[in-house]
Structure 1
């Protein structure tokens, strides 16, 4: 009988089939939620901070998709914090000039405490990233970047980082393993905010780390155990349930995004459209600066003015309203997460807001 790791199975099939309980008579199809802090002695789990059957199912699915070993964390920032804990004091870290502000804030905190040297670069400039990697301990990448949606040459940068002796970490939240698999391109670690596209329903806060090698996996597992950055079993159950439909959600959202991008490029109120050519994210820079962008996000009705992304509903926000957002992000930039609504309804609502601005 074929198993879920059979190479003939595609990733959309693995999303549905992996991480299931044994197919026994009267057994449930889905891994149930296990609410337990204490286990009978004699096994490997031992205690609720060390493992949970619901975590195991989620980690199995994500690990198969990314071709690595996955661990669930309490949030995306808990996951990134665990990865940054790998750095020794005084280490140099290469990071994007523009990236998710929470991760950059974590790095800045370490820099300001004298723990690390932070080297920020344009990740689209492969030569500049390779140069910055010399003498560094870690190269942290987003591709596409948040919110400018710049694309890095992951394979070339990972090769340069490896030659320099640096770990390569890739935040794969925007692309998901259905569109991009950094470990196959040479990265050492993948990070996800599973809050976003993986879970897909705006009802979960969850993070994940996927490691290529056993040593990094063991260190991440030890960090989770020691520092208690563990997820709740209900959150993991919801994320796994959401992941089962990732393929069809992403297919619809990606098609909607492509059509909206095509129309946005012709709208007179839009000065620039940022889109990497794939995925469910795009950003626009609108006429009128920050005030113009604020008018647009305040005028939508179907679109939701909110900070998160990756849900079935379409959301948007002006990113520079956050005080620590990078100054490489335009004041007028609106980040848009496209959902699965009818594209004609999305366009009608967005066009009205742009016309009114």
Structure 2
């Protein structure tokens, strides 16, 4: 019998489950094992765990490839960048996740790689940069500028130049974009964010379609030991089950807020890619106005992460490592799943005082 093709919402609920046999649990149990009886495929706790495997099967099914989970999103970034040859060029967005940009800067300062930071909205410039690159790293949308890349065009040009393409899909999630189907070779996630969704687990993941590349990355994870915690993998898998519901609600809330924010006198600019739950606003009052907003709300939480059920906000330039091209008054909003009228009331009280 041909296996049915389920929708992403159904896949999020069903993938990575135990086989449906009498008395089987519906959920994969937490396997707390540092070592295994010899003679099998795992042998030792650094090489595999059934709980990791369940999470990897579910995310792999959503992204359309084979998944490996890691201790954190930055562990994934480090592992992928470690594959780049000595002195080779990495093309990356000038606006991107701070941890990625900082790792690239660290590698360049030690002579490991050459970094070419580009405006990913300038597709022609990015395509031209592919010619001399060993790796093209994309974020779409970018963090926190929310710029969108033409992934298909860039990936096609990169492959013509013999270059691998990585897409950080943390913001969009596989429900809004599947980069492997758009030509990417690797998809990375900070699973801490939307995939887990409850601000209670630190986890990273990479998904690839090529079996040989999977084996290389698996070998690097085994050797470096950047493995996920078993409890974290289980928590992330539990969060993944409601990903479609959380993304739909956060996106609906974000879209309702965007129109109101654009009409408010205290705001100079609203950045929103048209999907997802992340919105960036630029306050007329610059850094001072942005700080007053982030410290003045009661429902919105001032926090540096994102993608949880709770709404949070942060002025990104409070971090010294944030690029100078990000406005001082930019506040990134991670819209949660609360009642949208409550979210707006909390924001507007502070914004009205800044107008």
1:350 to 342, 347, 351: 347
- Of 266, 269, 273, the residue aligned with 1:272 is 269
- Separation in 1 of the partners of 2:255 and 2:326? 22
Give the TM-score, by structure 1 length. 0.98
1:137 corresponds to 2:118? no
Distance in 2 (CA, whole Å) between partners of 1:349 and 1:303 is 7
Question: Would you say 1:162 and 2:163 are equivalent positions?
Answer: no
Question: How far apart, in 2, do the equivalents of 1:45 and 1:353 lie?
Answer: 55
Indicate the residue corresponding to 2:285 in structure 1.
288
Structure 2 SS opposite 1:134: helix
**CA displacement at 1:87 relative to structure 2:** 0.2
Task: Give distance in 2, aligned partners of 1:290 and 1:266.
Answer: 20
- Does residue 233 of structure 2 align to residue 208 of structure 1? no
Q: Which runs of 5+ in 1 are unaligned?
A: none
2:246 to 224, 244, 249: 249
Residue from 142, 145, 150 that aligns with 1:153: 150
Q: CA deviation at 1:356?
A: 2.1
Residue in structure 1 matching 2:119, options 118, 122, 147: 122
Checking the alignment, whether the CA contact within 8 Å between 1:299 and 1:356 is kept in structure 2 is no
1:89 aligned to 2:78? no
DSSP-derived class of the 1:50 partner: coil
Q: CA deviation at 1:2?
A: 6.5
- Structure 2 counterpart of 1:260: 257
- 1:220 pairs, out of 202, 217, 220, with 217
For normalisation by structure 2, the TM-score amounts to 0.99
Runs of 4+ in structure 1 deviating by more than 2 angstroms, as ranges, are: none
Q: Structure 2 regions of 5+ residues with no counterpart?
A: none
Q: Does 1:299 align with 2:316?
A: no
Q: Is the 8 A contact 1:296 1:356 kept in 2?
A: no
Q: Distance in 2 between matches of 1:356 and 1:303?
A: 16
What is aligned with 1:317? 314
Q: 1:16 aligns with which of 13, 16, 27?
A: 13
Which of 38, 41, 44 is the matching residue for 2:41? Answer: 44
1:319-347 Cα deviation digits (max 9, x unpaired): 00011011111100000000000000000
Give the secondary structure class of the aligned counterpart of 2:323: coil
Partner secondary structure for residue 171 of structure 2: coil
Residues 170-194 of structure 1 deviation map (CA, whole Å, 9 limit, x = unaligned): 0000000000000000000000000
Distance 2:313 2:151 in 1: 27
Task: Please state how far the C-alpha of 1:114 moved relative to its aligned partner.
Answer: 0.4
The whole-number CA distance in structure 2 between the counterparts of 1:212 and 1:132 is 24
SS in 1 for 2:132: coil
The equivalences for 1:49-88 within 5 A come to 49-88=46-85
1:69-100 deviation line (CA, Å, top 9, x unaligned)? 10000000001111101101011000001101
Distance 2:170 2:279 in 1: 14
Work out whether 1:106 is the aligned partner of 2:108. Answer: no
Question: 1:183 aligned to 165, 180, 184, which one?
Answer: 180
Measured after TM superposition, the shift of residue 159 of structure 1 is: 0.3
Distance 1:138 1:39 in 2: 37
Moved more, 320-329 or 236-245: 320-329
**1:181-208 residue CA offsets vs partner (Å, 9 max, x unmatched):** 0000000000000000000000010000
* Residue 29 in structure 1 maps to residue 7 in structure 2: no
Residue aligning to 1:308: 305
Q: Deviations over 1:25-50 (max 9, x none)?
A: 11100000000011111111111000
